[in-house]
Structure 1
Amino acid sequence: MRTHLLFFLLSIFIVSQTSFSQTLETGNVSTHDKWEFVLEDTGDVLQIALPLTAVITTIIKKDWQGTKQFALSYGTGFIITHSLKRIVRKERPEGRNLFDAFPSGHTTSAFSGATFIQRRYGWKYGKWAYVLAAIVGVSRMEGPDGWHDIWDVLAGATVGIGSTYIFTKPYQKNQMQVGFSANKGDYLIGFKYQF
């Protein structure tokens, strides 16, 4: 899992640097600092990388139940987010005349992937996934385009976390356990199967 995480972080850095270089080459230089472009590009990549890491992990572990749980949770988050965008019709910051700010889809996607990793495989990996998901949330507010405010980001995180907690159960490799005990001529065989 650490190898996957390092690979994605390196990919994010390369994509971010490439994207910013292309912006400079085309002459689209604005009053924004370089870090703002890097932050926004990083958020764009992470909102895909986190759920992709989650689903790839289920495939590598041959955790088909996890794959199903991820599909249900991610799909639910996607449907809720895009339904709310059409129902609420909140205008995006900076007067863009776009009415789909609430909730943040990038943040929903990132937190859905991060929460799945944490819920299914534990806090050892989940804590880092949450840090990366938080970066996505910050990138939606602080990037040069400032697509969202704090309420959009918090709502997106809530949808991503909530939909994942509804469908995702912790990973248990051994669903079946058999035990044996002997005491003064008495023998006990135990069988446990977790659904």
Structure 2
Amino acid sequence: MNWLKNKGGVVLLCFILNLGVRAQDDNTGTHERWEYILVDTGDVLQIALPVTAGLTTLIKKDYRGTRDFAFSFATTMVLTYSLKAITKRQRPEGRNAYDSFPSGHTSAAFSGASFIQRRYGWKYGKYAYILAALVGVSRMEGPDGFHDIYDVLGGAAIAVGSTYLFTKPLSNEKLSVAFHAQRDVKLISLRFQF
């Protein structure tokens, strides 16, 4: 397990160093370094969050979660790119691209984050949502401002909605006890899940 931590640290260090090098590539002087770092971080997180969600299901041997994530992620992506083609909304930075609504980066990131939260709870979900929100900010505040707030909110709503449609929370409880009382009838039920 230590080799995984060490390699993870090396990968993270290389990523951070790469961001610093890329941020110095703008010779025009029109953008600040933090804008490039923000966009690069968003680009990585839009992939890292769904990959983390999928790998978590496999590591935990939660194969129902794997299936739920596959359905919710696929639905999110199909809806996102269908809406891009239907709405044909121009990008806010002014180039001739008519695929602004909804934000695909934000959809992907929130799909991973909302799955982690829905399936495994807020303990990990809160951090995943913070990272997904960072992706949304990167799409609006980067050097070119690829999206506006409506594009980002639309992408997030599609992802969270798809997740809640297909995913149920993981229940670790094997035994549940219920009590029901009505006038003359008292009922105790035991349920054991295996």
TM tier relative to shorter chain: 0.7 to 0.9
| Corresponding residue for residue 67 of structure 1 | 66
> TM (normalized to structure 1)?
0.82
CA distance in 2, matches of 1:72, 1:100: 24
CA contact (8 A) 2:23 2:37 kept: no
- Runs of 4+ in structure 1 over 6 Å off: 7-10
* Cα distance change, pair 84–9 in 1 and its aligned pair in 2 (3 A): farther
Cα shift at 1:21 = 1.1
Alignment RMSD, CA only? 2.7
1:82-111 alpha-carbon deviations (Å, 9 max, x no partner):
000000000001210100000000000000
Percentage of pairs with the same residue: 55
Q: How far, CA to CA, are the matches of 2:22 and 2:100 in structure 1?
A: 27
d(CA) in 1 for partners of 2:67 and 2:109?
Answer: 18
Q: For structure 1, list consecutive stretches of 5 or more residues without a partner in the other structure.
A: 180-187
Aligned partner of 1:36 in structure 2 is: 35
Name the counterpart of 1:177: 175
User: 1:94-109 to 2 correspondence within 5 Å?
Assistant: 94-109=93-108
C-alpha spacing 1:16/1:87, structure 2 compared with 1 (3 Å): farther
Distance 1:59 1:32, change over 3 A: same
Query: Does structure 2 retain, via aligned residues, the 8 Å contact 1:66–1:120?
Result: yes
Q: Distance in 2 between matches of 1:30 and 1:9?
A: 32
Letter in 1 for 2:18: T
Post-superposition Cα deviations, 1:67-93, rounded to whole Å, max 9, x if no partner, equal: 000000000000000000000000001
In structure 2, how many angstroms separate the alpha carbons of the residues matched to 1:76 and 1:11? 31
1:143 aligns with 2:142: yes
Structure 2 gap segments, 5+ residues each: 178-187
**Residue identity matched to 1:135:** L
Residues 119-139 of structure 1 deviation map (CA, whole Å, 9 limit, x = unaligned): 000000000000000000000
CA contact (8 A) 1:15 1:41 kept: no
Which residue is equivalent to 1:182? Answer: none
1:145 positional shift: 1.8
